[in-house]
Amino acid sequence: MKHCLIVDDSRVVRTVAGRIIQDLSFTVSEAAHGAEALELCRKDMPDAILLDWNMPVMNGLDFLRALRREDNGKDPVVVFCTNENDSEHISEAIRAGANEYIMKPFDAEIVESKFSEVGLV
């Protein structure tokens, strides 16, 4: 079973996204900010990461840049999931190494479609 790490400072979003992603046959773990996510990745690199942008301690973009510098840090498929929905933010995320981008609000169909685009389902 594939493993997805959900990184979002909102517990509600983590719970909702977690249920959707579990239904796609993933095991799910959670982190509330980028620094916590980086710690978890160093212990157990996930197959996929659903990543919010604006979070305390370390934001999503800084986390992604740090992740891609880690050993095996290029392996996880990273899907941003954020309220930052303008073209500039999307371009910046792709340049930093994001594989897909979900604009909030989202539903199960969008998550499945985006995961499908990057070969996760």
Partner 1 sequence: MQESTFNELADLALRNSGQHFAPTKSYLMDARLSNISRRESFATLDDLVQCLKARPNPRFEQEVAAALTSKKTSFFAERETIEQIVTHALPQRLKLSKSGILRIWCAGTSTGQEAWSLAMRIREDVGSPLASAQIEIIGSDLSTDCVETAKRGVYGHFDVQKGLSIHRLMTNFNRHDNGEWEIKDDLRETVFFRRQNLLNPASDLGGFDVILCSNIISSLAKPAKRQVLETLSKQMLPDAYLFFGPDESIEGLSSSIKPSRDMRGAFIRTSSDSATAAA
Examine residue 113 and tell whether it contacts partner 1 (CB under 8 A): yes
Shortest Å, Cβ 94 to partner 1: 7
- Number of residues near partner 1 (by CB under 8 A): 20
Tokens representing 61? 């973009």
d(CA 70, CA 75): 10
β pairing state of 100-103 and 26-31: unpaired
Residue closer to partner 1 by CB (options 38, 111) is 111
Residues of span 90-109 touching partner 1 by CB under 8 A: 90-91, 94, 98, 100-103, 105-107, 109
Cβ pair 1, 25 in contact under 8 A: yes
Using CB under 8 A as the criterion, what x/- string covers residues 67-86 for binding partner 1? ------------------xx
Using CB under 8 A as the criterion, what x/- string covers residues 18-57 for binding partner 1? ----------------------------------------
State the sign of the Cα–Cα–Cα–Cα dihedral 16, 108, 81, 41: positive
Shortest Å, Cβ 95 to partner 1: 12
Residues near partner 1, by CB under 8 A: 85-87, 90-91, 94, 98, 100-103, 105-107, 109-110, 113-114, 117-118
